[in-house]
Chain A
Amino acid sequence: MSTDLPEPEVKAHYDVVIIGAGAGGISVANTLAEYGVNVVMFDESSRPGGQIYRNLETNASKLTRLLGRDYAAGKKILTTFRNFIDKGLIEYYPKAKVWYLNSDNEIGVSKSGLSYKIRAKKVVIATGCQERPMPISGWHLPGVMSLGAGQILLKSASILPKSTVLAGAGPLLWLLAYQYRRAGVKVEAIVDTAMPSPWWSTSIHLLKALVAGEYLFKGLYLMLNARFSDVPIHRSVTHLKAVGNQQFESVSFKCNGEHYQIRADTLLLHQGVIPGLHIAEAAGCRIQWHGPQQCWVPVVDKWGKSSQNHISIVGDVSGIEGAKSAALSGKTAGLRLARELRKISGVQLGRLSFLSRLSRRRHQAIRPLLNVVFRVPVTYLNPPDEVVVCRCEEVTAGTIRGITKQGCMGPNQAKAFTRCGMGPCQGRMCSSTVEQIMAHELNRSVADIGRYRARPPIKPITLGELASTFSSPES
């Protein structure tokens, strides 16, 4: 069958394949192109920029101004990236899904309805983060969205909700409140579920964070901005629920012993971001539990090298550090790969990467503070029995608890016994919750419970596309 296919434009072999055109991936590509390495970049979107710089190339300057200075700051690396593409130094495929990567370094990428099998000497995973699922009662109702999805609406200049409630925890909550209000969306309330730690445990981290003062200023600015607006803010909220028949109607919660119910068009939920690890796990990269960030992260060294020698992991997928740190980790990893491909010397590597490594450490200094200030309370990780955990297969927390009591020893057995995690989202929306439920039920750590095994396809693909998979004779 493969003989009927047109000659593919995608080649069978590359020196370096980069997956994801966000801040991290673009920095790797720019660095490698600078030293003459043959690099190919696959990205799902139609334009480069990832989540953080989504549509920055095309958005009108008014919208860009509205989104703030940090958004506009991405212009520089995007311009460099375009220059390298135009010079033919970077082969860039937008709307290309890398749907497969295994531990034998086979890469499956699908583009315009056809799938290709390729190989590379080095693979860079720069697929960014995902939002941590926030399983509350009613979170599957139409009208309830993730906060990230709400921000995508804004960045892609789509129709915005008329009135909204923002609920959850994390810096993004305050940023979007600011952006939405500037865009003219009525924010009915900010419902903050974070549980503040005692001041003395925060203050140690606060001192450390002073070296990255700009984050503190930005955070303070956003919070004060919300504080002095007419938006009601509810803090340390418990019993958060989305209420509605068929469709979201209102949000109910408890705050300082009082019960509240607020009506709105949409509810945007968010409790921080976690690395999107599917692809790294599928490739056999080792992962570990990161207690302070309450999520799994891949095991990487300071150069972004994973436990698989040919795979580097950069940006938020290697641990949540934000866009600036992602760009720096991308540059460091790019230099290291240039060294491995004999384009620069060891001395050059040390010299060229020195500043980015130092600067990245400064950006990392804010993280311990954020981890404490926006720590997700256990009740929103380990929800009550009636809450739907797996939205694809409609499995409740109670079902998972039930089989755990019967001796089910881990998430993979739970998946087999209940279909939890078998749907099209590949467990992205339930794995963190299932791990927490089982850990609490068995009185063990999440690190000990483990995770679902990552299964292909990493991105949706049809049987027809898979059947078309073109592999050139030499591979």
Chain B
Amino acid sequence: MALQALKTDINLNNNVYKPKFNSLVKKSFDTIVIGGGLVGSAVACGIARKGLSVAILDGGDRDYRASRGNFGLVWVQGKGADYAPYAKWSGLASKHYSLFEQGLKEATGINVGLSQNGGFDFCLTEEEWDERLVEMAAVSRHTHGEFKYQMLDYVELKQLMPPISDEVVGASYSPHDGHLNPLYLLRGLQNWTQSLGGVYLPETKAISIRALKRGFDISTSNAVYHSEKVVLCGGLDNQRLTRDLDMFIPIHSVRGQLLVSERVAPFLTHPSLQIRQTDEGSLQIGDSHEVVGLNDGTTLDVMAKMARRAVTIFPHLSSVKLNRAWGALRVMTPDGLPVYHHSEQHPGAFALSCHSGVSLAALHAGFIADWIVGEETHPLISDFSGDRFDVPIN
């Protein structure tokens, strides 16, 4: 097939094709995934597992990469309080994770350090606690009780987690939550895809996409590629890419800033939305939200605020050294929910946008890949179609 023709041209020892400029021969694949972040790599991996030829077109080293700024939570609690399908979808992802992670480990030898023994979301005021209670009850209702949670007051929390300070009012807890190393996950997904014959093309920025009678032509910074199907996973660039195929998926960026400390002796047995301890011992502190356009830098005020919150919850961290801080841009839709869209006008063109690249990876490599290759469609997928943003003009 198409892949056979390519084999002479591509160094398939490691499945990296080093593109040359002005290449006149058009390369073709069954499916091309645009974007080598967590969403694109997971989907490509799922497609490669079906034995189809797939290529990932990825950008450069300094592009906006939400996947490299990820906090690493596999999170369920609080998600979908306003939208039942999202609550169900997140719960499903958590359930599928360990099997998916095992597969990744067996295929690539990469250990992403998954731990799913439940997570906390700390409340520093009574109001926060009350709001959280309502939120958790809603998620539980939406999932017909499948989502389990507990609201803990200070005394109950202190027993589970002795180092917390008395400024913490309480926390919500859910046994479905977990965390992992998001960077190793990304590396693992790309490795897995390549080991199954998928092709990874770095520094190959998609410039324009043209729908043909059959398939698509994708012009990139290096060459023109052809595919039967195209999956747009370009993160913030999806707004531009979808326009080429007459889709309308509004996306904006929400900056998150993150702090990472030096390694400390293990003391945090569970992850939380505010702070988690990685398996090699460093602490990640996060959860800031700012709408600042395409500025992925840091600010002193937000960094100081996050540090204040961390030492308010765990006072003994005040002497721990900060190792690194950075900002990254989340890919956000107007309602904050994922978009899984199949174009009606150009069948074979898909657009995927979401900010939960880690939490939902197991489903992206599973049900979403099934849906794209044309196998059974999970009933929840249609609830995330991009049609919900298709507001008629006037």
**Interface residues, chain A, with chain B CB atoms under 8 Å away:** 1, 100, 102-104, 106, 108, 115, 117, 403, 405-413, 416-417, 419, 422-424, 426, 450, 453, 455-457, 460-464, 466-469, 471
Contact = CB atoms under 8 A, between A and B. Distances in A.
B255 to A, nearest CB: 13
11 contacts: A405-B14, A406-B191, A407-B200, A409-B60, A457-B325, A460-B322, A463-B307, A466-B304, A467-B310, A467-B318, A469-B301
B187 interface: yes
A407 B62 contact: no
A464 B311 contact: yes
A11 to B, nearest CB: 16
B301 A471 contact: yes
**Highest count of chain B CB atoms <10 Å: which of A416, A424, A462, A463:** A463
Nearest to B201: A407
B152 to A, nearest CB: 25
Given A104-B299, A412-B62, A463 B310 contact: yes
Interface in B40-85: 58, 60-62, 68
B190 A406 contact: yes
A426 B324 contact: yes
A466 B299 CA distance: 12
Interface string B286-316: 0000000000011111011001101100000
B300 A450 contact: no
Contacts of A115: 304
Contact of B300 (A117, A455, A463): A117
A410 B322 CA distance: 25
Contact of A467 (B311, B321, B323): B311
B320 A417 contact: no
A114 to B, nearest CB: 12
Nearest to A284: B297
Contact of A416 (B186, B262, B323, B324): B186
A434 to B, nearest CB: 12
B317 A463 contact: yes
B319 interface: yes
Contacts of B326: 453, 455
B323 A406 contact: no
**Chain B contact surface mostly:** mixed
B202 interface: yes
Contacts of B58: 409
A462 B16 contact: no
B324 A462 contact: no
A102 B299 contact: yes
Interface residues of B, number: 45
Given A406-B191, A409-B61, A450-B62, A463 B203 contact: no
Nearest to B303: A466
B16 A466 contact: no
A468 B62 CA distance: 32
Contacts of B184: 417
A330 to B, nearest CB: 27
Given A102-B299, A407-B190, A469-B300, 15 more contacts: A100-B300, A102-B300, A406-B14, A406-B15, A406-B16, A406-B200, A407-B194, A416-B68, A419-B183, A460-B322, A462-B322, A463-B307, A466-B259, A469-B304, A471-B300
Given A104-B299, A405-B14, A467 B320 contact: no
The 7 closest A-B pairs by CB, nearest first: A410-B61, A464-B318, A409-B202, A469-B304, A466-B307, A407-B16, A467-B307
Contacts of B62: 410, 412, 450, 453
B115 interface: no
Interface string B189-211: 01100100000111100000000
A409 B203 contact: yes
A403 B201 CA distance: 14
A108 B300 CA distance: 7
Contacts of A467: 304, 307-308, 310-311, 318
B261 interface: yes
Given A412-B68, A469-B304, A464 B319 contact: yes
B80 to A, nearest CB: 29
Contacts of A466: 259, 303-304, 307, 322
B297 A102 contact: yes
A462 B321 CA distance: 4
Contact of A424 (B262, B285, B298, B308): B262
Nearest to A393: B280
A102 B202 contact: no
A411 B61 contact: yes
Contact of A417 (B187, B259, B297): B187
Nearest to B314: A463
B362 to A, nearest CB: 21
Given A423-B323, A462-B319, A117 B16 contact: no
Contacts of A410: 60-62
Contacts of B261: 463
A461 B109 CA distance: 36
Contacts of A423: 323
Contacts of A409: 58, 60-61, 202-203
Nearest to B296: A453
Contacts of B323: 422-424
A106 B299 contact: yes
